[in-house]
Amino acid sequence: MANGEVTVALLGGGTVGAQVARIIVENADDLAARIGAPLRLTGVAVRDLQKDRPGIPADLLTSDAAGLAASGADVVVELLGGIEPARELVGLALDAGSSVVSANKALMAQFGGELHDKAEANGVDLFYEAAVAGAIPLLRPLGDSLAGDRISRVLGIVNGTTNFILTKMTEAGADYDTTLAQAQALGYAEADPTADVGGLDAAAKAAILASLAFHTRVSMADVHCEGITEVTSADVAAASDMGYVIKLLALADLSDDGTGVSVRVHPTMVAESHPLAAVREAFNAVFVEADAAGEVMFYGQGAGGEPTASAVLGDLVTAARHRVTGSLGAAASTYNEVAILPIDDAVTAYYVNLDVEDVPGVLAAIAQVFADNGVSIAGVRQDGKGEDARLVVRTHAAREGAMSATLAALRDMGTVREIVGAMRVIDTPGVVA
Amino acid sequence: MANGEVTVALLGGGTVGAQVARIIVENADDLAARIGAPLRLTGVAVRDLQKDRPGIPADLLTSDAAGLAASGADVVVELLGGIEPARELVGLALDAGSSVVSANKALMAQFGGELHDKAEANGVDLFYEAAVAGAIPLLRPLGDSLAGDRISRVLGIVNGTTNFILTKMTEAGADYDTTLAQAQALGYAEADPTADVGGLDAAAKAAILASLAFHTRVSMADVHCEGITEVTSADVAAASDMGYVIKLLALADLSDDGTGVSVRVHPTMVAESHPLAAVREAFNAVFVEADAAGEVMFYGQGAGGEPTASAVLGDLVTAARHRVTGSLGAAASTYNEVAILPIDDAVTAYYVNLDVEDVPGVLAAIAQVFADNGVSIAGVRQDGKGEDARLVVRTHAAREGAMSATLAALRDMGTVREIVGAMRVIDTPGVVA
């Protein structure tokens, strides 16, 4: 910080970059009051210098991203997305002693550990609130307000596209393909929706959330990932019959002994009275269970230029304030040695819907299969007769490994015609004063 | 800060104080890592030195609260509650150069402005996350993560007792008196429930939330307050018929021209698909509408020793970290000149349920009364005939003053037998990507 001002370099001049640049200029007085010194934009790195960029002063545009990144600005804001050249440029900025604000989910999910090390070595800040759940103030509370508490579980609806699709399937009763096409027409899903519906976007965010919640290093490769492409309207109807809605959840939980963490993304039946069930359309929410704080949920818009710009601005204000007060790097996490558990060691309750032969003893035989694999049954409902006989089983929490073995054994039974549905279940939190 | 440690003085040794003392001692290493220096408890001021206080080292107990408050500890934590002597002791601590963490809602609602001035004059921190909505990280995100954004409205369910009662009335269909008695038996309501059911507790929290959201000074006397004692099971049933649930909301909103803010507490019909409708039992939530961030909600436990201790610890960690890094007072709010609007200038939609004579022209006459007062009707439903004729009117947003005049005029009409119900309404937020 020199001349009593905080210098800011922007890498990327797209939608979010233009918003951020505009707010820095338009709200200059307000931001200066909050930070304790004025912000000065020193440059905006873009690929195409010819393109018209309303809101960004033309003389600040540069195509020399590496030069700007290494220029030693107080804060470098990275809004490029993707791994390269973002990874290299953020590295240059940190090594030049700049604090970095990034909205880059992919980068932080894959190289968060490496970049945190670099930030720590250089004694600067590295913030990325916008990388998960858009404008929801989430990462700072996780690291800050809940400091001194122990988080046991994080459950998130972190992908707007899949939540939009599942909400429409639930409320309109439509099937997956129809709803996906509708979401694409409305702009809620991409032409190639794989990253969203396959759960990969949620998995990247799960890795970041788990890293912060458990002060450990989780990268995307550690996340067990199942998308929503197999969710049928029959699953949605069955969930509704039982008082549940289906949500794609990013989950991270600590094992009972506190030595391991399981991180996964999969469709989940969530009890209708659980606060996450009320998160509709493209909204996001993250539900945190902590020892002392109890249950806490953060809800808001997950995507969009304005919310993302708002989150970037929040980080920029904090990083700039730290330059003014000299309290850089104070938020760097301490790291715990927590093992990443394989999916078989995750513990969860299940719903299983079986199409069975209506013959004497079928329930006893099926119950025996669950018992043989050490899975405890919480409840059974038998519907229909003859050709239409259905058996719906709700289990208590069990190891995933035990549950997979149970499902494999059920599939081999002559009396089981088909496993119509099998899904993990989250119940309503208990009543706490 | 001396000798490389951060000294902490506790005022109050009750449930929360004992929890905080215990965590400071038991989690010493973890806290030291987060803060960058160890915490050392220098004293705990209590009224009765003889009382057994497990978790608090006996040699730290003192009955000289004023001496401890003025001892110049790095951080003074005030957990006494009530106005005096808390106000005097917090003043002594701030003047001695200590940062202060308080869980005292009444004190901050009434004397927040005075104490903020003192903190600013002394260049120290004043945090009170625990004063509103228990452990929900809320005040810091409001002041911090949403910095650089403009908040337009805050809607909160901030009183667990009334939310518990309204949830039971909704889900069990019981009347108010029966449900209050049940809440008292379960410990969710006090023997004298006035502060809760009369809305005063919520009004104090509304004042604090409004102060933070709009960077202005709102004290309890500025808050228009209506409790839940007049809510009937008929209101609850009528709300349910229309797809709404009744919640006691603390509201603060900015006028369209940005020059005034209206702060109020009253029962409100909230659309079932609004995220606040899913906040059940004794849980709390605060829903924030901001220009850039859009809609954001914070949810969690509002009361209880552990959540309160967790919130106090979070503040303590931040305040202690600031002592270590020397960035004291950085979070002090800048103040805006925003007028507090009288209740007549609040703008809200209404539901009105009228018991009317079933005679020709009654609807036209009633519609004319709304029109004469400048209240626009959004929808009308006519139920029953003859003796049982009912007219349910939903208005568009209108000034409270216009609405009061409308209700007074309706009461004077010969064809209106009774105003069965009249309540403000909050609809579901629009779908945003």
Flag if A433 and B144 touch (Cβ within 8 Å).
no
Flag if B321 and A330 touch (Cβ within 8 Å).
yes
Handedness of CA B53, B315, A325, A93 (dihedral sign): positive
Going by C-alpha positions, the residue among B159, B127, B142, B103 that lies closest to residue B298 is B142
> Which 151-190 residues of chain B touch chain A by CB within 8 A?
160, 187-188
Q: Which of A105, A168, A205, A247 is catalytic?
A: A205
Give per-residue pLDDT as tens, A191-228: 899 999 999 999 999 998 888 788 788 888 899 999 99
Flag if A310 and B295 touch (Cβ within 8 Å).
no
Backbone φ and ψ of A349, nearest 5° = -85, 155
Measured distance CA(A126)–CA(A391) in Å, rounded: 52
Of B33, B310, B325, the CB nearest to A292: B310
- How confident is the model at residue B148, as a pLDDT? 63
Of B134, B299, B433, the CB nearest to A303: B433
Measured distance CA(B183)–CA(B186) in Å, rounded: 5
Q: What are the CA-CA distances from residue B88 to residues A157, B106, B219 (Å)?
A: 46, 14, 18
Please state, as a whole number, how many other Cβ atoms lie within 10 Å of the Cβ of residue B359: 10
Please state, as a whole number, how many other Cβ atoms lie within 10 Å of the Cβ of residue A258: 12
- E strand segments, B121-176: 126-127, 151-157
Measured distance CA(A258)–CA(A266) in Å, rounded: 23
Which chain B residue lies closest to A33 (C-alpha atoms)?
B334
What angle, rounded to 10 degrees, do the helices at B105-122 and B200-213 form? 30
- How does DSSP classify residue B427? P
Q: What are the CA-CA distances from residue A297 to residues A28, A279, A371, B49 (Å)?
A: 33, 11, 36, 40
Do residues B78 and B100 touch, judged by C-beta distance below 8 A? yes
| pLDDT category of residue A259 using cuts at 50, 70 and 90 | confident
Flag if A144 and B23 touch (Cβ within 8 Å).
no
> Which 74-133 residues of chain B touch chain A by CB within 8 A?
129
Flag if B137 and A296 touch (Cβ within 8 Å).
yes
Backbone φ and ψ of A343, nearest 5° = -60, -30
Cα angle B187-B192-B197, degrees, rounded to a multiple of 5: 85
> Which 303-362 residues of chain B touch chain A by CB within 8 A?
303-304, 306-307, 309-311, 313-314, 316-318, 321-322, 324-327, 330, 334
> Which 20-49 residues of chain A touch chain B by CB within 8 A?
23, 27, 30-31, 33-34, 36
Chain B residue numbers with beta carbons less than 8 Å from the beta carbon of A311 are 145, 293
Q: Is B144 on the interface with A (CB under 8 A)?
A: yes
- How confident is the model at residue B354, as a pLDDT? 92
Cα angle A150-A151-A153, degrees, rounded to a multiple of 5: 155
- How confident is the model at residue B433, as a pLDDT? 24
Do residues B329 and B124 touch, judged by C-beta distance below 8 A? yes
Measured distance CA(A276)–CA(A281) in Å, rounded: 12
Q: How many CA atoms lie within 13 A of A257 on its CB side?
A: 6
Backbone φ and ψ of A21, nearest 5° = -60, -45
The residues with which A78 forms a beta bridge, in sequence order, are A11, A102
Tell me how far the alpha carbon of residue B116 is from its chain's centroid: 19
- E strand segments, B243-308: 244-254, 260-271, 283-290, 294-301
Which chain B residue lies closest to A279 (C-alpha atoms)?
B275
CA distance A144 to chain B (A): 7
Do residues A53 and A96 touch, judged by C-beta distance below 8 A? no
Question: What tokens appear for B266 in the block?
Answer: 């009253």
Going by C-alpha positions, the residue among A432, A273, A280, A333 that lies closest to residue A127 is A333
Of A296, A301, A314, the CB nearest to B146: A314
Chain B residue numbers with beta carbons less than 8 Å from the beta carbon of A278 are 273, 275, 277-278
Please state, as a whole number, how many other Cβ atoms lie within 10 Å of the Cβ of residue B203: 25
Of A188, A298, A309, the CB nearest to B292: A309
Flag if B140 and A145 touch (Cβ within 8 Å).
yes
Chain A residue numbers with beta carbons less than 8 Å from the beta carbon of B134 are 293
Flag if A294 and B273 touch (Cβ within 8 Å).
no
Do residues A310 and B293 touch, judged by C-beta distance below 8 A? yes
- How does DSSP classify residue B276? G
Enumerate residue ranges in chain B where pLDDT < 70: 134-135, 139-148, 327-336, 429-433
Flag if B314 and A145 touch (Cβ within 8 Å).
yes
Chain B residue numbers with beta carbons less than 8 Å from the beta carbon of A281 are 431-432
For residues A177-192, give the mean pLDDT: 91
- How confident is the model at residue B381, as a pLDDT? 84
Question: What tokens appear for B163 in the block?
Answer: 């939310």
Identify whether A51 is a catalytic site residue.
Answer: no
Give per-residue pLDDT as tens, B247-286: 999 999 998 888 899 999 999 999 988 899 989 988 999 9
Q: Is B433 on the interface with A (CB under 8 A)?
A: yes
- How confident is the model at residue A336, as a pLDDT? 65
Please state, as a whole number, how many other Cβ atoms lie within 10 Å of the Cβ of residue B417: 14
Question: What tokens appear for B117 in the block?
Answer: 């001035």
Distance spanning both ends of chain A, measured CA to CA: 48
Question: What tokens appear for A18 in the block?
Answer: 């233009």
- E strand segments, A242-325: 244-254, 260-271, 283-290, 294-301
Flag if B330 and A334 touch (Cβ within 8 Å).
no
Q: Is B430 on the interface with A (CB under 8 A)?
A: no
Question: What ipTM goes with this model?
Answer: 0.73
Measured distance CA(B100)–CA(B195) in Å, rounded: 26
Going by C-alpha positions, the residue among B341, B337, B427 that lies closest to residue B155 is B427
Flag if B330 and A321 touch (Cβ within 8 Å).
yes
**Residue with tokens 């809605």, as numbered in its chain:** A245
Of B148, B283, B293, the CB nearest to A317: B148
Chain A residue numbers with beta carbons less than 8 Å from the beta carbon of B291 are 306
Which chain A residue lies closest to B325 (C-alpha atoms)?
A327
Measured distance CA(B314)–CA(A20) in Å, rounded: 30
Measured distance CA(A251)–CA(A128) in Å, rounded: 20
| pLDDT category of residue A52 using cuts at 50, 70 and 90 | confident
Which chain B residue lies closest to A144 (C-alpha atoms)?
B314
Q: Is A50 on the interface with B (CB under 8 A)?
A: no
For residues A326-348, give the mean pLDDT: 73
Of B27, B137, B316, the CB nearest to A141: B137
SS3 A81: coil
Question: What tokens appear for B302 in the block?
Answer: 């509002």
Top pLDDT among A139 and B424 is at B424
Which chain B residue lies closest to A321 (C-alpha atoms)?
B330
| pLDDT category of residue A101 using cuts at 50, 70 and 90 | very high
> Which of B27, B139, B145, B295 to mutate: most A Cβ within 10 Å?
B145
Give per-residue pLDDT as tens, A21-32: 888 888 888 788
Measured distance CA(B375)–CA(B409) in Å, rounded: 12
Can you spell out the DSSP letters for B23-78? Answer: HHHHTHHHHHHHHTS-EEEEEEE-S-TTS--TTS-GGGEES-HHHHHTS--SEEEE
Measured distance CA(A375)–CA(A351) in Å, rounded: 12
Q: Which of B105, B118, B168, B205 is catalytic?
A: B205
AA identity, residue B21? A
Element (H or E) spanning B343, and its range? Answer: none
Q: Mean pLDDT, chain B, as a whole number?
A: 87
**Residue with tokens 């309404």, as numbered in its chain:** B425
Do residues B341 and B401 touch, judged by C-beta distance below 8 A? no
Element (H or E) spanning B162, and its range? Answer: helix B160-172
